[in-house]
Amino acid sequence: MLLLMLLTLLSACAKNPATGNQDFVMMSETEELKIGKQAFAEFSKNLILLPESDPLAQYVNHVGQKVAATADRQDLFYHFYVVDDATINAFALPGGYIFIHRGLINHMNNEAELAAVLGHEVGHVTARHSVQQISKARAYQTALMITSVFVPIPQGATMFSDLIALSIIQGYGRDAEFQSDELSIRYLTQAGYDPNATIGILKTLKRLDEIDTLEKTDAGEKVEKYHGAFSSHPETRKRIEKSIAEAAAGQLSGGLTNRDTLLSAINGYAYGDSAEQGAVVGRRFLHPELGFQLEFPKEWVINNTPQALQARLRKQEVYFQLQLVELQKRYSVEEVLQKSFPKERNLKINSGRQAGMDYAHASIKRSAPKVSFAMIDAHVFLQGSRAFVLTMWCDRDEFDKHAADFATIAKSFRSYDKQRDGDVPRIALHQWRAGDSWQALAASNKNILGRFTADRLAALNSMGLEEKPATGSLIKIVK
């Protein structure tokens, strides 16, 4: 049995349909397609996808099919989907399922860049990178079984083996990402697009990474980057340099860019989170779907996550969180507040009405995230079967200093009115005029994207803050 397992590991190689190389695989194409279909069903449950009838979804599918028609593995059906959120991401599942997030599309500046990203993900499919990843995981499991029989594993070795396995199977790895970049350039060229678009979108990703670092450093947040042996993606700079070298070596230039077509396709779509997810607008947070809005004082940094709305006072240990609670039965607002802090007995609760909703408030001394000896300022607003639980906290010795900010935030909570409160930020087109600057455009829209709005507007147009478009050219802004 062990000999059979060893022979299986040694013989599990197959010709890569995209590169012609011999790759280690332990999966048939039939199994690959089955796993891809199952994975698509699971991902579809957890992602908000634009419907196939949506104009942007149709446009992305059109470009994707054009690229896929030049790719290897023509016996596969390729499917392209737009994830309706602000994430800068794209990914592929086995068998030809390609996903691209609206946030990434918004930061593209021509159709060739869209084709480049879709071509990169098609490359992961044609080169069977996910199959290789799964095969490595299976081989690791098999090898561990053999090792545990022949060699006594000392205490602690299992943890080390798991760490090695994680470094092998986490993400596609640098070589696979470089390979997909190469395949994308090939597919772009064959589809008639400018292959240099790969360089353009990689430069934009690098700028966005730099702005994210600036924002987190400015807010006092920890900057997390992926480097070293545990990075599944090569550093963007290295990918840019490699793509430039490949384009130069092949003397690749020319081809379609279709800039105006791409700009028209994304005009009017949400820039960041949609109305269904809620959106940060300067110092305000709007949630048209749930029907509320609130505002933060200056120096607060807002972060909308799928789990909760979070904020903190810049570079200080002062925090805010809002969570939605769907009630299963009728409770008074006081009962909801008490149930939100079940370990606290005899809370002194003040209640009343605010913005047409039942409202309750209490101050609680206890530990809180990132603050051991905290004073928590808790507020609950009742809206039918929904309860909005607002918690704000800081070190209890600092509470008096921040109580006014907490009160201001709580008092700003009210029902959403589109005419009064406006819409979520959306992409709009603007003709660059003599005298325009990114800073002026940011100021004219009240720094709608926060402290670094000017930087983000420049990056949205694949430029640095010091660069300017030609007078009369069409650019993207956020309104």
**Region class of 218: left (phi > 0), else alpha (psi between -120 and 50), else beta:** alpha
Instruction: Answer whether residue 231 shows pLDDT above 60.
Output: no
- pLDDT confidence of 246, banded at 50, 70, 90? low
- Nearest residue to 219 via CA among 309, 296, 315, 316: 315
Of residues 28 and 182, more confidently modeled = 182
- Nearest residue to 105 via CA among 118, 93, 92: 118
Q: Any idea which of 11-25, 111-125, 238-252, 281-295 has the lowest mean pLDDT?
A: 11-25
Mean pLDDT across the chain: 85
Say what the pLDDT of residue 198 is. 86
Q: What is the mean pLDDT of residues 100-128?
A: 95
Q: Any idea which of 180-194, 226-240, 319-333, 402-416 has the lowest mean pLDDT?
A: 226-240
Instruction: Report, in this order, helix, strand and coil percent for the chain, each rounded to 5.
Output: 45, 20, 35
Helix 174-191 with 197-219: angle, nearest 10 deg: 140
**Where are the domains positioned within the chain?**
2-263, 267-272+425-478, 279-421
Say what the pLDDT of residue 20 is. 52
Fold annotation for 267-272+425-478? Membrane-bound Lytic Murein Transglycosylase D; Chain A (3.10.350)
Instruction: Answer whether residue 253 shows pLDDT above 80.
Output: no
Cα(99)–Cα(363) distance, integer angstroms: 45
Q: What is the mean pLDDT of residues 463-479?
A: 97
- pLDDT confidence of 306, banded at 50, 70, 90? confident
Of residues 216 and 13, more confidently modeled = 216
Instruction: Answer whether residue 380 shows pLDDT above 90.
Output: yes
Instruction: Answer whether residue 24 shows pLDDT above 90.
Output: no
Q: What is the mean pLDDT of residues 194-215?
A: 90
User: What percent of the chain is predicted at pLDDT more than 70?
Assistant: 80
Instruction: Answer whether residue 26 shows pLDDT above 80.
Output: no
Q: What is the mean pLDDT of residues 298-325?
A: 95
Say what the pLDDT of residue 129 is. 80
> What's the gap between Cα 144 and its chain centre?
35
Say what the pLDDT of residue 381 is. 98
> What's the gap between Cα 120 and its chain centre?
18
User: What percent of the chain is predicted at pLDDT more than 90?
Assistant: 66
Q: What is the mean pLDDT of residues 194-223?
A: 89
Cα(397)–Cα(399) distance, integer angstroms: 6
Cα(319)–Cα(27) distance, integer angstroms: 49
Instruction: Answer whether residue 330 shows pLDDT above 60.
Output: yes
Instruction: Answer whether residue 288 shows pLDDT above 50.
Output: yes
Which two structure tokens, joined as six digits, stand for 446? Answer: 């009240």
The fourth-level CATH superfamily of domain 279-421 is Mog1/PsbP, alpha/beta/alpha sandwich (3.40.1000.10)
Say what the pLDDT of residue 336 is. 97
Q: Answer yes or no: are the C-beta atoms of 114 and 262 closer than 8 Å.
A: yes
Q: What is the pLDDT of residues 138-177, one digit of tens each?
A: 544 444 444 444 444 334 433 333 332 333 335 577 788 8
Q: What is the mean pLDDT of residues 283-305?
A: 96
Q: Answer yes or no: are the C-beta atoms of 297 and 405 closer than 8 Å.
A: yes
Instruction: Answer whether residue 8 shows pLDDT above 50.
Output: no
Q: Any residues with CB less than 8 A from the CB of 319 and at least 6 apart, and which?
A: 310, 311, 312, 313, 368, 369, 370, 371, 392, 393, 394
User: DSSP letter at 193?
Assistant: B
Q: What is the mean pLDDT of residues 317-346?
A: 95
Cα(28)–Cα(205) distance, integer angstroms: 35
